[in-house]
Amino acid sequence: MKKEKLVLKKIFPTLASAISTLLGNKEILFPYMVICFIQLFSLEFLNIVHRAPLNSFFAPVIRKLYGEIYLHYPLNFTLLPQLFQYVQIVFYVLVSTFLVAVAIKAVVELESGNEKGLDFGSLVKKTLSSYVSLVLAALVVLAVILLSFKLFDKVYARAVLISATGGIKFAIKAVIIYGKPFFYLLLNAIATVLFAYVVPIIVVDKKKIFAAIWENFKLLFKSPWFTFCIVAIPYLFLVPGLLLKYINFLGNDYPEVKFWLLVIDVLVMVAIDAVVYTSLTIFYIMKKGESK
């Protein structure tokens, strides 16, 4: 307990150290910039698929799956977040997790004093051998997130059926219904916490997926609140965006706002991932040093 209290005191210094490390080393920041660029490019691509010449290929698909009305303004912006979410899932599994691992490898090289191995090409080559384990790790986290969302959706469906117009039952119904996006955010954060050290362990120790998950849970058990705070504090920066979506600020009169909210989401989420995984990697390397 005393050790955990001492570790908790390191939360903000660790986050500050991570931010300083990111800002002071473009080699660590670069993979996250690549993630950001690819996601924004994908978003813009989806934003124009209903226009010529792309519509000759994509319009029939959208028309068949969703209907003709979603090819035209303003409902094309209503469909955009859903399409982008599908792209993000594939990107997260196949590309994003790997690039995060490349950034983690840069932190490892920096901490070990090997500044010559910090060029992007070299980092990619060193991390490539762990690609399969990284994809499997992403699939595990994604499965847990989707399962938790599905379970919450069942709770949500039950809440909708509550007929009470007052009292505690009505309050529970209101919290569940109006708090849906915030519950999703919380579940996402919890899933991230549960597997927080898997990617750093795969990169640092070259562990396979099952060994990495086991080591992750061992470290998580020793420092649960530290890990939760390292993830949860940066995640709080997503709350303003959720509030804007919930209020649907200007969304009815200006559907384009939905596009710009997605842009903000990408920028904030990439920044959060950068701070969180740099912090976790620094902490993991420190714990490894203490155990020697």
Tokens of 177: 């219904």
pLDDT at 1 over 60: no
Per-residue pLDDT band for 2 (boundaries 50, 70, 90) equals low
Q: Cβ atoms within 10 A of the Cβ of 240, count?
A: 11
**Could you list the residue range(s) of the whole structural domain that residue 103 is in?**
2-291
**pLDDT (average), residues 208-237:** 95
As a three-state string, the secondary structure of 120-174 is: HHHHHHHHHCCHHHHHHHHHHHHHHHHHHHHHHHHHHHHHHCCCCCCHHHHHHHH
Cβ atoms of residues 157 and 111 within 8 Å:
no
| pLDDT tens digit sequence for 117-157 | 678 999 999 999 999 999 999 999 999 999 999 999 999 99
**pLDDT (average), residues 93-105:** 97
| pLDDT tens digit sequence for 71-94 | 888 888 889 999 999 999 999 999
pLDDT at 198 over 80: yes
Tokens of 269: 């989420």
Per-residue pLDDT band for 285 (boundaries 50, 70, 90) equals very high
pLDDT at 4 over 60: no
Q: 146 in the Ramachandran plot: left (φ > 0), alpha (ψ -120 to 50) or beta?
A: alpha
Predicted local distance difference test score (pLDDT) of residue 164: 77
pLDDT at 21 over 90: yes
Cβ atoms of residues 228 and 197 within 8 Å:
no
Predicted TM-score of the model (pTM): 0.92
pLDDT at 108 over 70: yes
Kindly state the DSSP code that residue 207 receives in the 8-state scheme. Answer: -
pLDDT at 254 over 80: no
> Is pLDDT larger for residue 9 or for residue 139?
139
Cα–Cα distance, 162 to 203 (Å, whole number): 48
pLDDT at 232 over 90: yes
64 to 58, 60, 61, 215: CA distances (angstroms): 10, 6, 5, 47
> Is pLDDT larger for residue 148 or for residue 287?
148
pLDDT at 252 over 70: no
pLDDT at 33 over 90: yes
Number of domain units in the chain: 1
Predicted local distance difference test score (pLDDT) of residue 250: 46
pLDDT at 188 over 50: yes
Q: Cβ atoms within 10 A of the Cβ of 199, count?
A: 26
